[in-house]
Amino acid sequence: MPEIAAAKITETVCALCRQANYELGDDVLEALDHALSIEESENGRETIRELISNAAIAKKEKLPICQDTGLVVVFVELGQEVKITGGTLDEAVNEGVSRAYKDLRKSVVNDPFIRENTNDNTPAIVHLSLVTGDRIKIGVLPKGGGAENASSLKMFLPTASKEEVIKYVVDCVRTSGPKACPPLIVGIGIGGNFDHCAYLAKKALTRRVKQNHSNHDIAQMEKRLLEEINRTGIGPMGLGGRVTALAVHIETHPCHIAALPVAVNMECHAHRHREATI
Amino acid sequence: MKSISLPLDDKTIEGLKAGDRVLISGTMYVARDAAHKKGIPVDLKGQTLFYAGPTPGRPIGSIGPTTSSRMDPFTVPLLQKGLKGMIGKGARSAEVKAAVKKFKAIYFAATGGAAALLGRTVKKAETVAYPELGPEAVLKLEVADFPAIVAYDARGGDAFEEGIGKYRLND
């Protein structure tokens, strides 16, 4: 059985968290460049120019892109042939987060009501899936609080139409989008159940920005939603403009005959996602 | 682009209009959720509050605005006591917007997520209260040419409403 040391997982998580926070991905930068080319509002254009310049400063000076360095969401795809040695997966991931966040903002409190800072940004939220093979794929998504707060979930009737779902998502953006740091990336989970559709909405954010779903119908719905969201006029930072979202990503899953769950996970333009396979 | 100094005086406030881009220099205080709940132990008369929680660094790391509406339930009494400026991101409640007009104050929006760029405008930073809150401590900052936009002016102008109204294509 192939062995992977817990220390290697720690090292990888630490490096991914740092890279995510200091270097905006080329997919987001390309999306911002495109946004600048189509934005008509002068305030919107100035905001996008600030974001592009901010990313360059952050990378050059090793400064976090955004001060909200997030609650770290970690996606682990564990090859079922792998044996982890020298510690547990959970400890290894959290040790990696703790090390990375020595120089980053600690944004996690110990309890929803006691609210004492844990001082090392742990615990991370870990989503584990078992896959075939002898490797481990780790993705990190440090997620800011403002955009996360703008997210929502609705249990639709199973007879609801696609149009009703589209209207719901656009309404979510209209109501909560302006404060979630637009231009947004909108992650949508459709199907599954109450908890799984929220997971799918988050998982949708890990796809390369602007890469549409491989299924044609879902890709069409993504395009339609992006168009509708960009017709709201919210624009960069909610100051008005053509670009309210950079991308819409949808993931779907089979669901119960009685249900049609829909979750919308808002992501700001400071979309920090990095992954590696060990 | 207008250059303005803090603390804000009445003449400056009167001259600002929603949608104006400004470069802010001078002293401002930083406070967010936890400090608002506990009470900000600083005389805020005439002062400006920046809703933020920076990353570590010298004099500061990255710092950018957090969602202002979370501070709305605490804001009207602060305006009553003489708070003149606020810097954050996103729209506020109707009560706060009305109070900005009533008490002749200004609400500025800065670019959320442009925190490395904004951090470079901070020349001095000092913790003045609640160091145990970590990123939620109350700070006093000296800034030079901090870029922002006038979101709500003292006459009731609202850059969000006006901007979105101009570009909205659906109902």
Rounded to whole angstroms, the Cα distance separating B47 from B103 reads 13
CA–CA gap between residue B123 and residue B132 (Å, rounded):
23
* CATH, domain B2-155, list 1.10.8.60, 3.40.190.10, 3.20.130.10, 1.20.58.480: 3.20.130.10
At B170 the pLDDT is 80
- Say how far apart CA B65 and CA A31 lie, in whole Å: 23
- Nearest chain B Cα to A243, which residue? B167
For residue B8, the 8-state DSSP code is: P
Omega cis (within 30) before A236: no
**Lookup: tokens for A228:** 């509708």
Mutation target to probe the A interface, by most A beta carbons within 10 A, among B17, B32, B55 is: B55
What CA–CA distance (Å, rounded) separates A37 from A35? 5
To the nearest whole angstrom, how far is the Cα of B70 from the nearest Cα of chain A? Answer: 10
- Residue A177's pLDDT band, with cuts at 50, 70 and 90, is confident
Instruction: Provide mean pLDDT across the span B30-41.
Output: 96
Taking alpha carbons only, the member of A175, A25, A138 closest to residue B69 is A175
pLDDT at B111: 96
Q: Which pLDDT score is estimated for B160?
A: 96
Q: Average pLDDT over chain B, rounded to whole? A: 96
pLDDT average, residue stretch B109-125: 96
CA A173/CA A264 separation, integer angstroms: 9
* Spatial separation of the C-alpha atoms in residues A133 and A131, rounded to whole Å: 7
Q: What confidence tens digit (pLDDT) does each residue in A241-270 have?
A: 999 999 999 999 999 999 999 999 999 999
Predicted confidence (pLDDT) per residue in A40-76, tens digit? 999 999 999 999 999 999 999 999 999 999 999 999 9
- Contact residues on chain B for A67, CB-CB shorter than 8 A: 52-55, 61-64, 115, 119
Residue B58 pLDDT: 84
Q: Which of A251, A231, A141 is nearest to A177 (CA)?
A: A231
Q: What average pLDDT does range A201-229 have in this prediction? A: 97
- pLDDT above 90 for A1: no
Q: What's the rounded mean pLDDT across residues A191-216?
A: 97
C-alpha closest to that of A63 among B136, B141, B122: B122
Which pLDDT does position B18 carry in this prediction?
97
A131-147 pLDDT per residue, tens: 999 999 999 999 999 99
Domain definitions of chain B by residue range: 2-155
Residues B164, A64: C-beta atoms closer than 8 Å: no
Distance CA B93, CA B96 (A): 5
ipTM for the assembly: 0.92
Characterise B143 by phi-psi region: left (phi > 0), alpha (psi -120 to 50), beta (else).
Answer: beta
**Contact indicator for B160, B91 with CB cutoff of 8 Å:** yes
Give me the helices (H) in chain A, please.
Answer: 6-22, 26-38, 42-61, 89-100, 145-149, 162-176, 194-204, 216-230
- Which residue in A has a C-alpha nearest to residue B112's C-alpha? A181
Residue A106: list chain B partners with CB under 8 A: 134-135
Kind plus residue range of the DSSP H or E element containing B79 = helix B72-80
Average pLDDT for A8-27: 97
- What is A146-270's CATH number, 3.30.420, 3.30.450, 3.30.70, 3.30.1330? 3.30.1330
Closest-CA distance of chain A to residue B49, Å:
17
**pTM for the whole structure:** 0.94
pLDDT over 90 (residue B1): no
Give the pLDDT confidence of A106-132 residue by residue, as tens digits: 999 999 999 999 999 999 999 999 999
Amino acid B90: pLDDT: 94
Count Cβ–Cβ pairs < 8 Å, chain A vs chain B: 165
User: B115 falls in which pLDDT band (50, 70, 90)?
Assistant: very high
